[in-house]
Amino acid sequence: MATNENAITHDRTATSKLSVVIPVYQEGSHIRSSIGVIEAVLTDNKILYEFILVDDGSRDNTWQELKILAQTNKNITAIRLSRNFGKESALCAGLEYADGDMILVMDSDLQHPPSLIPEMVTAWREEGYDVIEGIKNTRGRENPIYKACAKFFYYIIYKTSDIDLGQASDYKLMDRKVVEAWKEMQERAIFFRGMSAWLGFERKQIGFDVAKRVNGSTKWSLFRLVRLAANAITSYTSVPLHCITVLGILMFIGTIVLGVQTLIMKFSGRAMDGFTTVILLQLLIGSSIMISLGMIGIYLTKIYKEVKARPRYLISKCIKGGDKKC
């Protein structure tokens, strides 16, 4: 169903409300201070706001800290998912609960600088942009291997799906109509950065330098990053499946060439023991088949998840500002 844009048209004024959506996982040691820093920026710039804080099944004291925040601040809604569904699902929950005229998505560790928020709000309010994206000038103190992998991942996404994520981040402010359009996308395999880029709308990019984490370490392991990359690529392009076809064609051509060579050698009486060649060919063909089946399996898994149509997240607890249940 297409979004009814007329139903969500609104004025962009100083009284427009900003919803700040923040997924939280294992951030109990500093979440209160982080929210305090962000809130100070919003208050100083007279921005009407609300916080939607989503605890993605943390095992530390994160939920206790969020409860205190929600019970003492009427502008904060704390949501606890029933288990760890992943950052993308937590973002989904936050966006579906946010009711502001504009919605800001950011991390809880202050690597997304809160000082940029007033500029993003101004671009939305006065310049009329629907999406204001935070673009990384640098990737901060990140492992060189991770940087190289990220660059390669973005290159593959761009070449296969024509979605240029470049130095994109999840730090972005979106108009209400953009969020409503995003909510129309019901796939279970969520990749927020790619989904928001696919939507289009009038966009502006604002550069920022990734700050040092206020505390703790990243929750993204190499395995989780690889899984996210595989999910993202297969969500936005079918090129890997076409690669199997190309691989088959190349191997067929190779088969013809080797076949002709073998016949020539046979009829000329120069045929030699081909044990090594046979083994190499078997290994090549076997590995190609296994890789092809793996690619097909990834797409079948995605279809399987979509067909089951399970909810993208489950909420176990929700506290709206002032200790009221959602």
Q: Supply the pLDDT for residue 219.
A: 52
Residue 40 and residue 118: Cα distance in Å, rounded? 12
Q: Is the pTM of this model over 0.75?
A: no
Residue 56 has pLDDT above 60, yes or no: yes
CA 133 remoteness from chain centre: 14
Question: What is the arithmetic mean of pLDDT over 108-114?
Answer: 83
Topology of domain 16-135+169-218+312-325 in CATH is Spore Coat Polysaccharide Biosynthesis Protein SpsA; Chain A (3.90.550)
Residue 161 has pLDDT above 60, yes or no: no
In contact, 2 and 182? CB cutoff 8 Å: no
Residue 22 has pLDDT above 50, yes or no: yes
Residues in Cβ contact with 251 at an 8 Å cutoff, skipping those fewer than 6 apart: 284, 285, 288
Task: Characterize 259-272 residue by residue with b for buried, 16 or more Cβ atoms within 10 angstroms of its Cβ, and e for exposed.
Answer: eeeeeeeeeeeeee
Question: What is the arithmetic mean of pLDDT over 189-198?
Answer: 74
Residue 247 has pLDDT above 80, yes or no: no
Average pLDDT, the chain: 75
Residue 323 and residue 326: Cα distance in Å, rounded? 9
Question: What is the arithmetic mean of pLDDT over 100-108?
Answer: 88
How large is the C-alpha radius of gyration of the chain? 25
Joined together, the tokens standing for residue 137 give 């000038």
In contact, 24 and 62? CB cutoff 8 Å: yes
- Residue 34: pLDDT band (50, 70, 90) is confident
